[in-house]
Amino acid sequence: MPKSLADLVRKKVNAGVLPLDAPVKIWICLGSGRLCAACGKAIHFTEYEPQYTDNRAAVRLHVGCHALWEAERRRRGSLPPK
């Protein structure tokens, strides 16, 4: 069992549930009530949805979950350092 949300995000990246590659675009919109791909809870406020050119399933994230996902991608060298 993951100890923190960051651990859960890392586990989901490892499992391929959350992609490691960079999206073409990220849509930011009002929460749809759909479940976050990272934490599994409903998104009621701001929702991040990375878009890819292939036909993969949509990934929706809370603001904080999106930040943890980007931090994990940066840690693995998939994003340039800030």
Instruction: Give the model confidence (pLDDT) of 25-57 as tens digits.
Output: 999 999 999 999 999 999 999 999 999 999 888
**Res. 1 pLDDT band, cuts 50 70 90:** low
**Where along the chain do its domains lie?**
5-75
pTM value is 0.89
Helix pair 63-75, 5-15: axis angle to 10 deg: 60
Do 18 and 27 meet the contact criterion of CB atoms below 8 Å apart?
no
Residue of 68, 30, 24, 71 lying closest to 48 (CA atoms): 30
